[in-house]
Amino acid sequence: MLSTLLSMSLCNPRSAAIAERACALPLTHPAVRNGARARRAVLIVCTAGLAWAANCVAAFAAEPQLATYRVDNGAIHVPLTREPGDAARGRAAVLSRDAGNCFLCHTVPDAGDTPLGNIGPPLAGVGKRLSAAQLRLRLVDSTRINSRSVMPAYYRTEGLNQVASAYRGKPLLTVQQIEDVIVYLLTLRD
């Protein structure tokens, strides 16, 4: 974590450009062209510089910035993406073990043969009970509605316990999946 923080604070496009220039420049210098020792030194500096630059890119990729949102009256009114949600993709995310896993705790009206859990309320009719804005907060961070909720916060990475290293720093659903799931839930009106 410390090394990630360090490399993130040292990483910016300007220093990456300097590392690249340092690699290219000395190759044209006569001392480098003619001397084996100087060539070796350039090679070492270069390799280290490029490895550092690659590390920079990895550090940024590993710590995605979460989208910001504002909670008003138990709801998030502004959609998290520009692209509107898609009900079919949302349904797939709700019924997917790799994405929402919602059916572990909720009955879902059109789940077919999937065995369903009943820890949470049935999702049938939820599109009539709750608005898109209320559903958005419920999905993003259910503990903002009920601090003791056992429902996972699908778009939060802070304050979670026992997260496997492969999932650390990543929300359970992407912003697009959240918007897709909202549109699907809104279709459940009976």
User: Which among 76, 70, 74, 71 is positioned nearest to 133, based on CA atoms?
Assistant: 76
Q: How far is the CB of 112 from ligand HEC (least distance, A)?
A: 17
Contact call for residue 138 and ligand HEC (CB under 6 A): yes
Among positions 152, 176, 179, 188, the unique one binding ligand HEC when judged by CB under 6 A: 152
Contact call for residue 187 and ligand HEC (CB under 6 A): no
- DSSP, residue by residue, 141-160: -GGGT-TT--S--TT--TT-
Q: How many residues bind ligand HEC (CB under 6 A)?
A: 25
| Three-class SS of 3-64 | HHHHHHHHCCHHHHHHHHHHHHHHHHCHHHHHCHHHHHHHHHHHHHHHHHHHHHHHHHHHCC
User: Which among 87, 68, 107 is positioned nearest to 177, based on CA atoms?
Assistant: 87
Helix axes 36-62, 13-24, angle to 10 degrees: 160
Contact call for residue 41 and ligand HEC (CB under 6 A): no
Q: Determine the 3-state secondary structure of 72 from DSSP.
A: strand
Structural tokens at position 118: 């009943």
Q: How far is the CB of 51 from ligand HEC (least distance, A)?
A: 39
| Pick 47 or 96: Cβ nearer ligand HEC | 96
Q: How far is the CB of 169 from ligand HEC (least distance, A)?
A: 19
The region of 33-41, 56-64, 75-83, 147-155 touching ligand HEC under the rule CB under 6 A is 147-155
| Pick 53 or 181: Cβ nearer ligand HEC | 181
Binding mask of the shown chain, residues 97 to 116, with x at each position contacting ligand HEC by CB under 6 A: ---xxx-xxx----------
Footprint of ligand HEC (CB under 6 A): 94, 100-102, 104-106, 119-121, 126, 129-130, 135, 138-139, 142, 146, 149-152, 154, 181, 185
